[in-house]
């Protein structure tokens, strides 16, 4: 009962956020609406007792991606961020059809699978071990090589980004005391 109420409220928040994010022409408003959507999604994860994913959703999507988007807007020329015209697009009908199709394809297995009808969420919580602990053990034991390779890849990307952003370096001026 309580979970259902929370589910509907969170879904409404997420849907509204997503809708505003798409419809708003004002970029900054759009970004913040997108963040509201992420927050709603994180609440939904929390409702499914996946608290680690909820925390990471907040940490990565709201904390990092949101700030990245805002930085991108700030560093882009000729985007003032405040244009209040409504967004209209000619292909909206086909967009809607594609979105609905994806939705149905994603939802069908979830509805038709027999497992989901048996296990209600509190029971599932009792049978599944705490997620963070299990995740940590899995990452540190069977998947440790994958983790290291991923970390290396990300570091390489970081260094690459810094190098690309620095551009061509000017020849250094002599700065001796004399």
The single residue among 18, 22, 48, 55 that binds other proteins, judged by CB under 8 A, is 55
The single residue among 10, 35, 41, 44 that binds other proteins, judged by CB under 8 A, is 35
Q: Which residue, 4 or 114, is less far from other proteins as judged by CB?
A: 4
Beta strands in the chain (DSSP E): none
Please state the closest distance from residue 27 (CB atom) to other proteins, in A.
11
Site string for other proteins, 93-122 (x = CB under 8 A): ------------------------------
The single residue among 16, 18, 20, 56 that binds other proteins, judged by CB under 8 A, is 56
Site for other proteins contains 171 (CB under 8 A): no
- Listed in sequence order, the DSSP H helices in the chain are 2-23, 27-47, 51-56, 66-75, 92-112, 115-118, 121-127, 131-140, 144-166
Please state the closest distance from residue 139 (CB atom) to other proteins, in A.
13
Q: Which residue, 22 or 49, is less far from other proteins as judged by CB?
A: 49
Site string for other proteins, 66-85 (x = CB under 8 A): xx--xx--x------xx---
Query: Kindly report the CA angle at 61 between 56 and 64, in degrees rounded to 5?
Result: 100
**Buried/exposed 136-150: b ≥16 CB within 10 Å, e otherwise:** eeeeeeeeeeeeeee
- At residue 70, φ and ψ (nearest 5 deg) are -65, -40
Rounded alpha-carbon distances, angstroms, from residue 80 to 38, 64, 84? 24, 22, 11
- Listed in sequence order, the DSSP H helices in 24-83 are 27-47, 51-56, 66-75
Q: Which residues bind other proteins (CB under 8 A)?
A: 1-2, 28-29, 32, 35, 51-52, 54-56, 58-59, 62-64, 66-67, 70-71, 74, 81-82, 130-133, 175, 177
């Amino acid at each position: 009962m309580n979970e259902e109420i929370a589910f509907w409220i969170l879904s409404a928040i997420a849907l509204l956020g997503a809708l505003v994010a798409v419809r708003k022409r004002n970029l900054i408003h759009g970004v913040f609406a997108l963040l509201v959507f992420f927050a709603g999604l994180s609440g939904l994860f929390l409702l499914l007792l996946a608290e680690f994913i909820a925390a990471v959703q907040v940490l990565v999507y709201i904390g990092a991606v949101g700030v990245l988007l805002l930085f991108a807007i700030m560093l882009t020329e000729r985007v003032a961020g405040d244009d209040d015209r409504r967004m209209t697009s000619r292909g909206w009908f086909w967009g809607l059809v594609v979105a609905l199709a994806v939705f149905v394809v994603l939802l069908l297995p979830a509805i038709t699978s027999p497992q989901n009808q048996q296990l209600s969420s509190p029971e599932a919580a009792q049978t599944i071990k705490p997620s963070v602990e299990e995740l940590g053990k899995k990452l540190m034991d069977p998947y440790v090589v994958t983790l290291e390779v991923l970390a290396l890849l990300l570091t390489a990307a970081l260094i690459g980004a810094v190098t690309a952003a620095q551009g061509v370096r000017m020849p250094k001026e002599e700065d001796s005391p004399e």
